[in-house]
Structure formats: structure tokens, C-alpha cells
Structure 1
């Protein structure tokens, strides 16, 4: 994340979603701790050591930023009405090449590997067939090309069929 993007996020969380600095922890520090935990899968103990804070402080600040981020998500992630999700797009109905062959079609599913950095002791599990460490992410779209399901987190060495099978549970 660029510094400008980080500052914009912090300003937005403060201005629009009630995140506040305290005497000992600034907003930027709270958001940085939150992002280390979410983006780098660090544990509270390690984040506390990195930022010079107790685990209790890290936990409290994590949940404060999480609450503000949930409010931000409510403003930016807008789900369509159920009727819109079930409506078959006209371009599909009108195209004899696809209709009626896609009658009963629910959506499309695909996966992609996202390169990640992991601790040296975990790298073996995350190596993919291209010689990089990655997560295997899967997404499902409906007929209107709207995401209806996203699953991420399978280690890169996990095959697509394994990730889709595990994600369906």
C-alpha cells in the first residue's frame, strides 16, 4: 500500500467512521497494526513487539479499526437485490449461441494464484508449480458478472480442485 493510500485510509476512518487517536496510540499506528495482522498474518505478540505495545493494546486497537473498517465496507460494498441476482441478462437470452444451453446456469468459477511473502519455515507449503510462494484464490460470479463468493487462503501448493472442494464445505 502506498503512503498516500495509507494516509487517505486513516483520514477516512477518522473523519467518516469514528476511529480516534488515544494518548498513547495514534490512528496511523492502530491502522498499521491492523494491516500487519490482516495483510501479513502476524500474531498479536509479534505486532506488539514490533510497535512496542502490549498484546492487550494490540487486541483493543485491532477491534477498533475492524469496527471502523466494517462501517467503511458497508458504504463501499453494495449487494444487489435478490431479484436482480436471479434475472437472466438479455444478452444471454437473445443469443441463440448460448441460450437455451445455459438454462439453469448459476455462474462461473475460476481461481488464481496471488504471490505472497511467507516466513521461511512455511515457504514449502506455499510454493506453487511456478516456483513462487502464493495463495490460491477462488471466485464465483453470477450471470451478471457480479461476485457471489470469494474464497482465499489455500496454500500455493494446493491444486485448484482441492481449493474449490475445500471452499465448498
Structure 2
């Protein structure tokens, strides 16, 4: 029964005409970004108003589910729509955002012709890391699967997960993602598949350039690992003795710079509650949702810069050093 006098369309309009904080709470972005995203989806990816529901309400339903983790039953009440209408329109917008991912999850400069400003303007990294173009790591997202399909997805987290490999630049934007691998799959296996199979269109480092990776990745040209057998993670340096020796000094700088991928994962998981409590969609749709959140993450970052509160919390490159949390927790 839908008895509220406030329709979903009316509520969306109230949010967009109201205080900025309401849009951030419900849709995880500013009013300006919501409007810009809607316009891009309409003009470039053919999101269309139907006779029964506007494109703005469709996007509102989609972002509300991603950002708050709301279930269909909660959305029925919030938007005064049937469960089937909620599900159908969520799927429509998910398909449009999945198409947008191809354009948005990619290097800003495919030739990597300039030094990232975060390196160029920091004497800790310049000139030693001037040819670094980003960082690579994996993270786990809980997966909802039938009991008879769970075993391959149960890894070190002891629950079913999908293992997601991502590459990011130093502006905290994702430039490549490979989602949907079983939680038991080793990061190296996923990495090698990504860089070797042309169908994934991995953004390979040009000659002389490289990505930062941790010590679990294979030693390969274009992928710079830390020294093994030495302290590496930033909390270890904070708790222990002063940095000493060229290998520890290198590891400290490497870890500090590579923390951008950890911080980017933190922003992603904090902003999109659905990643912390995935609904029981098909696994294919769960994988699409992960990529969709990364796509909108990039859209927000590129349109708002440093004015989004979630990014502001984690954008300081010293964040990982100043916080004593175990960075391994960001992998889960």
C-alpha cells in the first residue's frame, strides 16, 4: 500500500531544492554532481524518462540503494513505488552506469606523458618516483551466493567474497578494475590474467614508467615492489624505531606513496554502504554494482575535485602514517 502524499518524485525535488547535506546523506553526492550525472546519463547513455517515472527519480532510486544500502522494501516506502518498479529501474540505471564505466575507469592521460602533481610537488618523492604512474592492489567485497556455490569464494576472510583488483592514479581515481574473481583466488593470478589477456585492455605502463605494487606481486618490469625482509607498512614505522638504511628509507617512501590505493578503497567503501552489506542479487549483478560504485566514485572526484567530504577525509598522503589502523583491513 502506498498511502504517503509525498511521491518519490516530490521527495527527489525536495532534496534537490533543499540543504546540501540532505543530498549528501541520501545520494552520497552534492546537488550539483547529481544534476551533472543525470545530464550525462541522459545525453550520452540514453537514460530516458518513461510515462510512469522520471529519469531523476530513476537515478535517485539507484543512488539511494547504493549509498544507504536500502533494501527494496525500504525503497518501496521511500519512493511510494512497487517492488518490481524499484528493481526494474535500478537495473536500468545500473546498465547505463556500466556502459559509462568503459569511459570513466581509464587513465586521464593514456600516454602518461606528465609527472603526477602529487609527486612533482613533493620533495619526498621527486625526483626518485617521477616515473610512477599509479598503484595496484586488491580488495575483497562480501558476496551473497547459494550454499552450494560458496566454497571457491571463501578465502582468508572466511566468508564468501569477490576479489577485486584495481589500479588507481594519485588523484584517487580508478583507472582499471577487474571484479568478480573468487575470494580464494590469489592476487597474483588475477594480476597476471589482467595484464596478459588483451580483452581486458589493461593500461600497461610505457617504457620507463611503472606502477607501485606490494611484495606479493611478481617481480616484473613496470611494476615496482618494496624490498622484502624490511619494514614496509606505515604503522610498523610509527610503532618502531626511526627509519634507517637505504632499503627502509625506500620502503617507507614506497609505502607512503602506494597508500593512495588503500585510501581510495577507504573512500569507496565508506561512501557506498551497499559494498558493506551486499543484497542477494545474482553474482553477475553484484559484480556490476562494484564497478558501478567505482564509476560514480570517479565521476564525483573529477567533477568536485577536493570538495567532497569523503574524499577530503582520506586524500592527505600522510593519512596512513598518522592513523594506527591496520591497512590490511582495507582489503576486506
Deviation per CA, 1:56-103: give whole Å up to 9, x if none.
xxxxxx7xx2697259958xx597853896432334123332122212
Query: How far, CA to CA, are the matches of 1:80 and 1:158 in structure 2?
Result: 26
User: Scaled by the length of structure 2, what TM-score is found?
Assistant: 0.31
1:21/1:27 contact within 8 Å kept: no
Partner of 1:32 in structure 2?
87
TM-superposed deviation, 1:160: 1.1
1:135/1:156 contact within 8 Å kept: yes
Tell me the matched-pair count. Answer: 127
With CA pairs under 8 Å and 6+ residues apart, which has the higher RCO, 1 or 2? Answer: 2
Deviation per CA, 1:96-116: give whole Å up to 9, x if none.
321222122121011111111
Does residue 222 of structure 2 align to residue 167 of structure 1? no
Structure 1 unaligned residues grouped into runs of 5+: 36-61
Partner of 1:101 in structure 2?
128
Equivalent of 1:90 in 91, 100, 117: 117
User: Scaled by the length of structure 1, what TM-score is found?
Assistant: 0.56
Partner of 2:172 in structure 1?
145
RMSD of aligned residue pairs (Cα, Å):
4.0
Query: How far, CA to CA, are the matches of 2:118 and 2:94 in structure 1?
Result: 40
Flag the structure with higher strand content. 1
Aligned 1:2-151 pairs, distance under 5 A:
17-20=47-50, 29=84, 32-33=87-88, 65=92, 69-70=96-97, 73=100, 82=109, 86-151=113-178
TM-superposed deviation, 1:167: 2.2
SS at the partner of 1:167?
helix
Structure 2 unaligned residues grouped into runs of 5+: 1-7, 13-26, 28-37, 53-80, 198-332
Equivalent of 1:156 in 183, 202, 212: 183
